[in-house]
Amino acid sequence: MQAESMVHALEQIHSLLNPGAFLIDIHPNGKLVEFILPLDQREQRIGYLQESDDYIEYRQADEAIQTVIKKGLFQVEGTGEFEFLVHADSFDDLKTYLEEKWSDAVITDEVNANAKKLEAEYGVKKTILRERIKIGLLKQL
């Protein structure tokens, strides 16, 4: 979705809300998503997931939210951030999942090779995808 479409969607949501109602927005914070190999007391980073559009949509979403706040449609009532983890039995399982669910995800050859190297080195197949997510509560004005 383009930034203008996001603003339009937020304006439409505004019109679907009762006076003083709330909007919760949940979206990634746009920082690089990590592949992690979980070990007993620590973890090993395998590498980062890239996106073909360089995570631009998350920055656009932030801008769209700011736009409707400036327009006086909403005000911020609360914000937060949390880690969203996807646990997979193996790096290959995670790749299969991403191919189906995350169409613009790019896993570089370097990350692929590092996953195989670390898997062999530590004897651990389980892999975690770690994403940082923003959550915001907006009140309709």
Question: Under the rule (CB under 8 A), what is the footprint of other proteins?
Answer: 1, 6, 9-10, 12-13, 15-18, 21-28, 57-58, 60-61, 64-65, 77-78, 80-89, 93-94, 96-97, 133, 135, 137
Least distance between other proteins and beta carbon 30 (Å): 9
Least distance between other proteins and beta carbon 119 (Å): 16
Complex with other proteins: residue 82 or 122, whichever CB lies closer: 82
Alpha helices in 39-90 (DSSP H): 56-70
Least distance between other proteins and beta carbon 34 (Å): 15
Give the strand pairing for 74-88 and 105-106.
Answer: unpaired
DSSP conformation class of 122: H
Most distant CA atoms of the chain, gap in Å: 58
The terminus-to-terminus CA distance of the chain in angstroms comes to: 25
